[in-house]
Amino acid sequence: MSVKLLAAGAAVAILLAVLAPSTGVANSQQLPNRVLAVIPVGSGPADVAFDQRNGYLYVPNTDSNNVSVINGSSNRVVGSVSVGAFPQHIAFDSRTGNLYISNTGSGTISVIDGANNSLLATIAPQSMEGPAGIAVDSADHDIYVAALMSVPPYFPELEVINDTSNSVTGMIELPALAHGVAYSSRNGLIYAALSGSAAVAVIDPITRAILTTIGVGPSPESITVDDLNGRVFVTSLNSQNVSVIDGASNTLVGSIPCGFASFGSALDTLTGDVYVTTDVFAKPYLSGLSVIDAANDTVLESLALGVNALTAGLAFDSANGNLYLAGGAGPQVVTVVGAGPLGSTSGLASITEYLLIGLSLAFVALGATVLLRRRRRRDRVDLPPTP
């Protein structure tokens, strides 16, 4: 039986090897053809932001307590900026050219000057802990940070920071703890993913009041706004679907299946597609990417990226047309994927390859376990009797 299991696993592995040149199954030796580069960064990359002013990309590394700076032209790390403890999310302010990083471990917000890639300020609100998602409203000069109030009555909130003075100007109480936050320039509203209640809060930044809450998938994680089509896309850690909200009516209008748990999301400003990172949170930990046609709310393709690696946040570089994923091909890298038109997807792995990889690994592991147990039993039988 064990020999058969090993043979089955080997057969699937051989099949994957044969298919690899045409499907690009990702493993430690081979990556999909559209993976342009794998850039080593700090430990635990969690998010990516693109600075369209200087063409650089910024990656907060949760375990290194710093932000890696990548030149989008050369795809090389050109600097590192030390920030607070456990930096998790990052957002770029197009008006000031600054980047805002939420340091979940230290309860602070780091501000990086994109002009010289140096730490400009550290904002430490006395009443805030566990900051997470960040949204930038450049029109009103405000930064919104999802957090938890650290003093009684300890309710979830959005901290409001002025991007000129880099000081806290107010807060908005939320009905549940939020993670991802996004701003829509089309309707002027803020969207907060309430991870504790499977809903999205819609907030008026002028009155700082919650207009409504919209039910979405469980554990909503990130939010991407497509202002061209008036759509809001919400990923979900505990669902295989991406929820779609109509920005005009602020109602749920669709749910797009992506196959696995959806995590980060980003808008391709050149094609209008939405990219969603997908993960399998069980061994062997598979990472991937789904491409959504935002105009029709359909999945164009699903790509397998890596084994024993997960993906988190991502950003689209409008200067070179590439995607930058935190993780993907490994735990301490940024994976650069060529976005491009759908016709250039030869060499990409699909969801089917995910299942084949997992199946082959399971067969091999099970067969090896059975053989090991048999050998141990045989060794015990062959032992000479104790005098």
Q: Which domains does the chain have, with CATH numbers?
A: 24-352 (2.130.10.10)
Please answer whether residues 143 and 93 qualify as being in contact, where contact means their C-beta atoms are separated by less than 8 angstroms: yes
User: Is 234 a residue whose pLDDT tops 50?
Assistant: yes
Q: How far apart are CA 324 and CA 338, in angstroms?
A: 9
What are the pLDDT digits (tens) for 135-166?
999 889 999 999 998 888 889 999 999 999 99
User: Residue 83 to residues 36, 88, 128, 166, 292: CA-CA distances in angstroms?
Assistant: 29, 11, 17, 16, 34
User: 284: cis peptide before it, omega within 30°?
Assistant: yes
What is the maximum alpha-carbon separation in the chain? 88
Q: Where on the phi/psi map is residue 17: left (φ > 0), alpha (ψ -120 to 50), or beta?
A: alpha
306: which 2 tokens? 């890596």
Range in 41-45, 236-240, 274-278 the model is least confident about: 236-240
Mean pLDDT lowest among 160-174, 225-239, 291-305: 291-305
Going by pLDDT thresholds of 50, 70 and 90, the confidence category of residue 286 is confident
Chain-centre distance for alpha carbon 131: 17
Closest CA to 252 of 219, 215, 224, 211: 215
Q: Which of 286, 300, 216 is nearest to 250 (CA)?
A: 216
Instruction: Say yes or no to pLDDT of 337 above 60.
Output: yes
| Tokens 């099949």 sit on residue | 15
Own/partner pairs, 7-11, CB within 8 angstroms, 24+ separation: 7/367, 8/363, 8/367, 9/359, 9/360, 9/361, 9/362, 9/363, 9/364, 9/365, 9/367, 10/360, 10/364
Among candidate residues 101, 118, 96, 3, the one with its CA nearest the CA of residue 59: 101
